[in-house]
Amino acid sequence: MVGIVLVSHSKQLAVGVQELAVQMVGDDVSLTVAAGIDDPDHPLGTDAMQVYQAIESVYSADGVVVLMDLGSALLSAEMALEFLSEEQRAKVHLCEAPFVEGAIAATISAASGNSITQVIAEAREALTAKATQLGIAVVTNNQQSQDTSPTAQIQLTVSNRLGLHARPAARFVTTAAKFQAQIQVRNITRNTNFVRADSINQVTTLGVRQGHEIVIAATGIDAEAALAELQGLVANNFGEDDSAIVPTEIDTGENSLAGELIGIPASSGVAIAPVFQYRPITVRVEEYIVEDTAIEWQRLQRAIQTATQDLQSLQTTQLGSEAEIFSAHLLVLQDPALLEPVHQRIFNHHQNAEFAWKSTIDELANNFYTLEDAYVQERANDITDVGQRVLRSLSGMTTSTIELTQPSILVATDLTPSDTAQLDTTKVLGICTTRGSATSHTAILARTLGIPAVVGVPAAILNLTNGTLLAIDGTSGKVWLDPDTNTVTTLQAKRHVILQAQQQAQVIAHQPAMTRDGKCMSIMANIGSVADVETAIKNGAEGVGLLRTEFLYLNRTSAPTEEEQLKVYQAIAQVLECRPFMIRTLDIGGDKPLPYVKLQPESNPFLGKRGIRFCLENQEIFKTQLRAILRASHGHQIKMMFPMIATVQEVQAAKAIFMEVQTELRQANIPFDATMQVGIMVEIPSAVAIADQLATEVDFFSIGTNDLTQYVMAADRTNSQVATLADALHPSVLRTIHQTVQAAHQAGIWVGLCGELAADPVATPILIGLGIDELSLNPQAIPMLKHVITELNVAEAEAIAQTALSLKSAQGVRTLVSARINP
C-alpha cells in the first residue's frame, strides 16, 4: 500500500486532517504526520528529521506520497529526502496538492489499492469537485499567464535565507493585493510560468529559494507604484530577521558525527570540555501605531544612550586595542543614514520605536549584504549586532550575555563581537564556530582573551547535544567529537606542555628575546589606545611597534585637533619613557568611513581610497596629524610610518608634505626630533616588487602581513569561503617577506613585521630565519613569543626558513616546523 505523510506547521492541524482522512476509510491505511516542533512556547514549525522518520515509518515498495501545507514544510520535506537511500528516494514523491482536500483524496485512493501515480493524480484533482459544486472554473497557471499582457516588469534576486516561504510569501501577496494593477510573478531560476501575485497558494508553489531570480510583471494604472513597492519589499528581505536563522545539517545517527573534523585555526591552545550549544535570542518586534510620536522618539533616544554606555564600557575592558571594534559600533548609533529614516518612520508613519528601528536596521544591513563583498558584509554583521543591542534596551531586556553553568566549549554558528567580548574565560574554555576566518572579529577577540578557537568547522557540529565531550586544537584547526581515551590523553599532555610553556614565558617576559646562539630580537606591541600601553609594558614589550591612530578619528563628529592628538601621543610616550614608539599615520578609507569626511561608497574598500591615498587627498587632516606627531617627538624615541604604500611617488609626496610641516615648525620655533625615522608599511604586492626602490626613500620597512596575505592570495580574509587561502604561512607570502627583507638589508635599513603572523609561534623560526629584525604583536602574546625565541638558534631557523620557501602549501610549512621544533 502507498504510504502517506502529512507535513504541517501545526501538529493539531495535521492530527485533525489525519483523523478526518481515517474516518473516511477506517484504520486500513498507512498514514502518519510530521508536524510542529518541540518548543512549548513556539510550537509552530517543521523539522526535517521528523519528516524523515515519518517517511521511514510508512515506507513500502509501493512508495510514499508527502503532502505539505506551505513554506518551510516544503523545505523540510525536501531536506528529509537527502537522508534516504537512492532507492528509497526514487519512490518518495512530494505532492503539491491542497493539504486538507489532497490528504483525504490520497488516503481514499491509497486505501483502494491504487498505484502511487493514481494516488498523486487523485490528490492533485482534489479541488475539482469543490470548484464544480460552487460553479467556479479552475484556472491553471498557463491560462493565467495568457490572460494578461504585462506592460512593465522588473527582475530581482531573492536574498533572504529561506526565500519565499510562508511569511515572506504572505507579505508579498498582501503587498500585491493593495494595488489595482494585475500583478504576476514567475521564478526564472526554476523556469516556471507566471502566477498571480495576489494568490498565496500560487506564489508559494513557485519554490523561490535564496539566490533565485524572479520576474514581477504588472499591468494597470498603478503598475509602476506596485513594482516599486514590491522591489523594496524584496530588497528588505521581506522584513525577515535572518540573524535568527541558524543553518544546520541534520544528523541521521550518532555515528555520523563521530571522529574528527577540520576547521580553520583561529586561536592557539587546546581545550577539552563538554559542548554548550549557543543559540542567540533575537528580539521579536511587532508593528503598532503610536499617537504621541515625541514620546516614542524619546524612548528610542534613551535606548540608544543605554547602548552607547554599554559599548563604551566594552571599550574599557581587557580587550586592549581590539576594543577598537566597538568604535565602529558607536559610529553606527550616530549615523544619520540610520537615524533619519527611523525619525521619519516614527513621526510621519506613527510607527512604534521598535518596529521603526528594526526595519531601518534591516534595510541598512541589507544594503551591505547585497553588495556581495565579504568585507562589507562584516560591516552588516556589526550593524545587526548594534541593532539588537538597542532593541534589547527598548524591550527592557538585560544586556545579552552567555552564561554557562560549567566549564564548556562554546559551539555556535557565529559569535558577534559583543558576544565574544563578554565571555567568562573561566567558563568558556574554547570556541568552535561554523563561520568566520582567522582574522574575523571572533578570532581576534578570542586570541586577545586567550581562548583556544577553531572556526569554519562543518555545520554538522551544531547537532551535537549539550554535554557531549568535545576537544579542539586551536593551532591545527582539528576538532574531535566525543574523543576516545587515547586522544584525550594525548591532547591533555599537549595542553599541559602549552600551559607549562606559558608559565615559563611569564617568568622571562621582561628579559630580552635572545636565541640560544645570541641573536636578540626586538619585541614590540601593537596598540590602539593609551590604555594599551601599560598592558604592553606589563607583558614585556620593549616598546610600541604599531600605534593605530584611527581611534582618535572615530566616534566623533569632527576631526581631532592638533592639540588633542598631541596630548595622546605625549601620554603614550611618557608611559614608554625612553622606549621606541612607532606611530602609523591615519589608515582610514572606504572600509572605515569618517562621518565628517564625504567618501564615495566603494564596492571593494580594500582596493579603494584608504591609507596614504586618503591622506594625500585630504592634506589638512594629514598635516594636522604630522604636526602633532613631530611635536610629540621632542625628547622621545618616536618613529612614524605611512600605510598602504603602492608606489615610489606616494612616498615622495608624503615625505614632501612631512618636510613642509617640519619647515613650518622650525619657523615657529617649535621643537621636534629632526632625526626621527620615517618608514612605510609593506602590505601591497607592488611595494614588494619595487622594495629595492622604496628602500632608498625611507629608514625602515614594516611588513603588514594581514593585508599583504589577502592581496598576494587574492582572498578576502573576512570571507569564510576563501579564508583558508588567506594564510600568511603560504610559501607565496613567505617569499614576499623574504624578498622585502633582502631588499631592505641590501639598502642598509631594518625590517619589522606587525601583522597577525608575528604572534604565531609556528611562524617564529621562519621569520627569524628570513632575517626579520623586529616583531610587533598584541601585548598578550608577547611572553609566549619571547619563550619560543629563547628555544631557537639562528642556524636552525635559517634552514627551516629556506626549506619553507620551497614548499607548496601552508600546511606543508606547519608540518615542517612541527617536525623540526620541539613543542
Our answer to whether residue 441 is catalytic in this structure is yes
Q: Which of 234, 218, 238 is nearest to 226 (CA)?
A: 218
**Cell numbers of 169, please?**
510569501
**Cell numbers of 532, please?**
594599551
In contact, 765 and 800? CB cutoff 8 Å: yes
Buried b / exposed e over 90-113, threshold 16 CB at 10 Å, is ebbbbbebbbbbbbbbbbbbbbee
Please identify which residue in the block is written with the cell numbers 617649535: 670
User: Could you tell me whether strands 3-8 and 64-68 are parallel, antiparallel, or unpaired per DSSP bridges?
Assistant: parallel
Other CB atoms within 10 Å distance of the CB of residue 518: 8
Measure the CA–CA gap between 45 and 285, rounded to whole angstroms: 19
Helices (H), 82-193: 86-89, 99-111, 116-124, 128-134, 141-147, 166-177
Which of these is catalytic: 95, 432, 615, 754?
A: 754
Measure the CA–CA gap between 623 and 621, rounded to whole angstroms: 6
Which of these is catalytic: 165, 212, 329, 441?
A: 441
In contact, 355 and 373? CB cutoff 8 Å: no
Which amino acid would we find at residue 324?
E
**Cell numbers of 303, please?**
535606548
Our answer to whether residue 754 is catalytic in this structure is yes
What does each C-alpha distance from 730 to 268, 454, 709, 712 come to in angstroms?
18, 19, 9, 10
In contact, 487 and 259? CB cutoff 8 Å: no
User: Could you tell me whether strands 520-527 and 774-777 are parallel, antiparallel, or unpaired per DSSP bridges?
Assistant: parallel
Helices and strands: H and E segment counts in the chain: 32, 25
What share of residues in the chain are helix, strand, coil (percent, to 5)? 50, 15, 35
Return the SS3 of 188. coil
Return the SS3 of 267. strand
What does each C-alpha distance from 378 to 269, 556, 609 come to in angstroms?
26, 22, 19
What's phi and psi for 184, nearest 5 deg? -130, 160
In contact, 769 and 801? CB cutoff 8 Å: yes
**Cell numbers of 354, please?**
521598535
CA 10 to chain centre: 34
**Over the Cα atoms of the chain, what is R_g?**
31
What's phi and psi for 261, nearest 5 deg? -115, 155
The DSSP string of 494-532 is HHHHHHHHHHHHHHTTTS-EE-TTSPEEEEEEEESSTHH
Catalytic residues: 441, 754
